[in-house]
């Protein structure tokens, strides 16, 4: 429990993170700290390094140099302890994998289960509650590949909910998603962050950013700007990020 007056705990920290593919840097010298309770937008052009940064923060690719800490832990350990939830960009998922929606969500509970990995009542309840929260209970028996794009996004969000992760990394969760689902995702993320999690979310939906992100990180291989949305999400900074300033809402 956080004491009154003490700063929120540091959830996600990266120092001088550099990631290269075949010697070519895709992310260079990125440092950031996200405390508990923070919902941060990650913005940049196609190819700016957003997915690469999220994957390196989550420990899914090894950085060339620099360090990452999730709740003070190296990413691999944070993964094992189920602190980290990662919602990948849709194109990176093998949707033909034969697994039911309910089992995708149950994957979020494995770190908490006994050695036999046999779900207990508490695990089943967490899964049902998460499915209910994202309005997918009626599709729980379907193979994940038989869901629509927006329904799949909700299934991954349900897995993150069931997991009770403290750090959420989401790669374009709004792409191809209808407005009610966008609003549902935002509401759930807000609730999780209010309860002490932190979320970093890549998106091209610039209009929505000021409505729900309290922080923004602008990326073009290097970190261009990072801080409170009101200070960072400006026409001048977007011009630096995209080469042209989209009209802000
Ligand atoms: N597996 C890979 N091997 C080699 N280069 C890669 C690989 N993955 C990404 N890249 C390159 O790294 C750079 C950053 O790609 P990344 O996918 O991180 O960008 P992004 O900001 O997520 O883009 P988008 O908005 O299109 O999703 C690009 O130039 C891309 O071509
Ligand atoms: Mg990407």
pLDDT digits (tens, 9 = 90+) for 46-64: 999 999 999 999 999 999 9
On the 0-12 / 13-18 / 19+ scale of CB atoms within 10 A, 64 is middle
What is the pLDDT, as a whole number, of residue 6?
A: 76
- Residue 197 Cβ < 6 Å to ligand 1: no
- pLDDT, average across residues 223-247: 89
Q: How many CB atoms lie within 10 A of CB 214?
A: 15
Using DSSP bridges, classify how beta strands 24-35 and 10-21 pair: parallel, antiparallel or unpaired.
antiparallel
Residue 104: pLDDT over 70: yes
pLDDT category of residue 228 using cuts at 50, 70 and 90? very high
Domain ranges of the chain: 7-83+167-243, 95-164
Q: Can you say how many angstroms the Cα of residue 88 is from the centroid of all Cα atoms in its chain?
A: 8
Whether ligand 1 lies within 6 angstroms of the CB of 108 is answered as no
Average pLDDT of the segment spanning 201-209: 93
Question: 55 is written with which tokens?
Answer: 């994957």
pLDDT digits 0-9 by tens, 137-167? 999 999 988 888 889 889 989 999 999 899 9
Nearest CA to ligand 1 atom 9: 52
Q: Which residues neighbour ligand 2 (ion) by CB within 5 Å?
A: 50-51, 89
Per-residue pLDDT of 75-97, as tens digits, reads: 999 988 889 999 888 756 666 67
CA distance 25 to 90: 23
Work out the pLDDT band at 1, boundaries 50, 70, 90: very low
Distance separating alpha carbons of residues 179 and 115, to the nearest angstrom: 41
The backbone torsions φ and ψ at residue 67, rounded to the nearest 5 degrees and listed phi first, read -140, 155
If we measure between CA atoms, which residue out of 204, 104, 212 comes closest to residue 161? 104
What separation in Å is there between the alpha carbon of 114 and the centre of ligand 1?
38
pLDDT cut 90: percent of the chain above it = 69
Q: Is 67 helix (H, G, I), strand (E, B) or coil?
A: strand
How does DSSP classify residue 89?
A: -
**Which one has a higher pLDDT value, 3 or 175?**
175
Quick one: DSSP state of residue 100? B
**Class in CATH terms, 7-83+167-243:** alpha beta
Report which ligand 1 atom has the smallest distance to the Cα of 204: 25
Residue 38 makes CB contacts below 8 A (sequence gap 6+) with 8, 11, 193, 198, 199, 214, 215
Helix (H, G, I), strand (E, B), or coil: what is residue 123? helix
88 lines ligand 1 (CB under 6 A): no
Q: CA 71, CA 197: separation in Å to the nearest integer?
A: 10
Q: What is the mean pLDDT of residues 106-121?
A: 78
From the alpha carbon of 49, which atom of ligand 1 is closest? Answer: 18
């Amino acid at each position: 429990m956080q004491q009154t007056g003490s700063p929120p705990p540091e959830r996600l920290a990266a120092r001088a993170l550099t990631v290269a593919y075949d010697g070519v840097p895709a992310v260079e010298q990125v440092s950031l700290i996200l405390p508990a309770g923070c919902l941060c937008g990650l913005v940049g052009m196609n190819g700016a390094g957003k997915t690469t940064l999220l994957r390196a923060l989550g420990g899914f690719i090894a950085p060339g140099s620099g360090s990452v800490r999730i709740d003070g832990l190296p990413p691999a350990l944070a993964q094992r302890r189920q602190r980290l939830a990662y919602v990948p960009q849709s194109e990176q998922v093998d949707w033909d994998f034969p697994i039911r929606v309910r089992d995708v969500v149950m994957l979020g509970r494995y770190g908490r289960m006994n050695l036999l990995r046999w779900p207990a009542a508490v695990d089943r309840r967490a899964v049902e509650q998460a499915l209910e929260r994202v309005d997918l209970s009626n599709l729980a028996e379907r193979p994940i590949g038989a869901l629509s794009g927006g329904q799949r996004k909700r299934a991954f969000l349900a897995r993150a909910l069931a997991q009770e992760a403290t750090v959420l990394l989401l790669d374009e969760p709004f792409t191809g998603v209808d407005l009610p689902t966008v609003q549902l995702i935002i509401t759930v993320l807000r609730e999780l962050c209010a309860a002490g999690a932190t979320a970093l979310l890549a998106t091209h939906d610039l209009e929505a950013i000021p409505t729900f992100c309290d922080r923004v990180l602008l990326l073009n291989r290097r970190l261009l700007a990072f801080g409170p949305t009101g200070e960072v999400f400006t026409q001048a900074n977007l011009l630096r990020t995209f080469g042209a300033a989209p009209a802000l809402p």
